[in-house]
Structure 1
Amino acid sequence: MKVGSLQLVVAVLALATALTVAYDPAILQDFCVAVKDRTSPDSVFVNGIACKNPSLATIDDFTHSGLNVPRDTNNKIGANLTVVDTTVIPGINTLGINLVRIDLAANGGLNPPHEHPRASEILIVVEGTLYAGFVATNPEHRLFAKVLGPGDVIVFPVGLIHFQYNIGKTPGLAFAALGSQNPGIMSIGNAMFGAQPPIMGEMLAKAFQLDKKVVAGLQSKTWINPEGDN
């Protein structure tokens, strides 16, 4: 094997190795309760977030109340997401998990097409009738979708575009668990037409086979994030 080819193989193997470990690392202690004050003498900096001294941890660091309360869905997309992360339950830190409550308005509440670059997701429907699914990658862009009711579960593989749409006449409610403390979220419409500074309209028109005026109109809209009250 030539030297150049060997170097290429080594480089590819190194990249593959890096990608296989690009997930939340396994913890080496029972827990690492997050704290906001990184300067506190009773904290230690771990995995991007400071943790309190384990001897100071309490049960309140691992519990939260209020996920039974419906959120306001009176916005443009008829949806509101409540994310349970380290700001809500500090004890989640370093555990590689995340929880989301998804409230969807009746007759069209939508959690728009989006993807999570760092986590797969499992979602259970509690109320409503949801049309939910995901799209596979090139070249087929195959759609996997189904109408789900209370008690039904669906899985969204990591990095694939997915959505939930309430086609029922009553409010929808679902809970989703994700396999990362910080899964990240990339909403497709927001990213393409709401990016700041704006992406070149001519390029978007060609990419989406749209008229430039249509693209300009899309870019002029206010793209909202379903997380929180919008």
Structure 2
Amino acid sequence: MPRSFLAVSLIALALAGCVTKPRPPSHLGATVTVAPPSKADVWQRVASAADAARIARIGSAWSEGLAEARSRGFGDEVKKEALLLRSGAALARPAPTPGSYSCRMVEIGSTPKKKVAFERFKPFFCYVEVEGELLTIVKQTGSQRPAGRLWEDDVASRLVYLGSLALGEEDQPKAYGEDPARDMAGVVERVAPFVWRLVIPYPRNGAKLDVFELTPVTEQPK
């Protein structure tokens, strides 16, 4: 092989090694990772902004309601309720077992228009059942019958309740969000073995808290 041809070949190979290969556009090589929604993200997409704000302020509702009840002479009544009205009493595994419950409501705190800062109401029946992937709570008796779904939350010791209110002879409550004046929002917690509570902060009745106690029963309401 002639020396001149060999030299030219070596120069060509050297130049080829200096050529930069084209790179793909940077935007084609970028990887975007989207985090899955949290449990709170899911229920917050359903809740109204006002109800999400009420739930976010549940700690304030507890402190204000209990302070008002005690300052107006209901300290002994609060004490009798024990764990039901203890703000930090929530235990693990908050989901209630499906079935029939004896339920009663305690109302604490008040706006200036209300005269009473503590009130107990007669027991009634309510029912917990499975609806798809969610639990629901339905009040079965009385002229005002709350009903709503329970959603998992980032706070492991509670479920978030979003519901509505059926009135009078209505067979079914309106869907949550259909009539904001009837919407209800709160949390469900387990406070003792076989005892749960549904806490509604800043309800529309003027109280600071509506606290429903739920205890299982074997007999169904008639």
TM-score, normalised to structure 2, is: 0.26
| Structure with the higher fraction of residues in helix conformation | 2
Structure with the greater alpha carbon radius of gyration? 2
